[in-house]
Amino acid sequence: MDVILSVWRQTGPNTEGGFVRYEANNIPDHASFLEMLDIVNEDLNDRDEEPIAFDHDCREGICGMCGVMINGQAHGPQLGTATCQLHMRKFKDGDTIRIEPWRADGFPVIRDLAVDRSAFDRIVEAGGFITVPTGSAPDANLIPVPKPAAEASMDAAACIGCGACVAACPNSAAQLFTSAKVAHLNLLPQGQAERYTRVVAMVDEMEQWFGACSNHGECEIACPKSISIDFIALMNRDYIRAKFRQGRLAGQR
């Protein structure tokens, strides 16, 4: 199949960018979207032109490195799918495909389609861990965990940190990502000791880089792992409780 690409090209974070037209010819319909970009880059290399920069790693929908806006949709037209899992058979021969990076102040462009998502790392570093000593590994059935809590925690842990939620949100909010990282620990017994300090630290760090949630729900639709916005409600509840607890503790001093 033959398609026409309109690709955002930008040499660095402090330079102006723009869309450049490319013809992608003889692309197998079973090729992934990233494999299509590989073919285009091979052609650009053969012509001694600068290849298109884009992020990728595992190419199995696990690492979260890939992610671009495709015709205005985060990760493209197939729901519940990362860019690396999207195949060219979702497009038609002769289609024009517009490709651009995530658009958010918290994700500055590094080059072309690659953005700096280290703000996500800083949110996790603020509290997405357990520091309480737990000793040696206990038997699997020693700590009773309700099945709904275990399943919800696993659902939250499915977040791959790709940033599609931020890119799809009209406010560039990161509540879905942050709430998933908070919930997969706060829902389990091991995470209770630092539950409230965790949510405050992570939310406060998030608000330095990203916008506010106004419940558009675009994040859930764009998420390649279909993570529910219910986690945002859980995070907000814990945050309010944590701030209330902090106020009471401060008043007792």
**pLDDT score, position 172:** 97
Tell which CATH classification among 3.40.1390.20, 2.60.40.1120, 1.10.1060.10, 3.60.20.10 matches the domain 117-251. 1.10.1060.10
What pTM was computed for the model?
0.92
For 95, list phi and psi in degrees, rounded to 5: -65, 150
State how far the alpha carbon of 207 is from the alpha carbons of 47, 110, 120, 193, in Å.
45, 22, 11, 24
CA distance 236 to 183: 11
> What residues does each domain of the chain span?
3-111, 117-251
Q: Which fold has domain 3-111?
A: Ubiquitin-like (UB roll) (3.10.20)
**pLDDT score, position 108:** 96
Digit-by-digit pLDDT tens for the chain (253 residues) are 999 999 999 999 999 999 999 999 999 999 999 999 999 999 999 999 999 999 999 999 999 999 999 999 999 999 999 999 999 999 999 999 999 999 999 999 999 999 999 999 999 999 999 987 767 777 767 888 899 999 999 999 999 999 999 999 999 999 999 999 999 999 999 899 999 999 999 999 999 999 999 999 999 999 999 999 999 999 999 999 999 988 765 655 4
**CA diameter of the chain:** 72
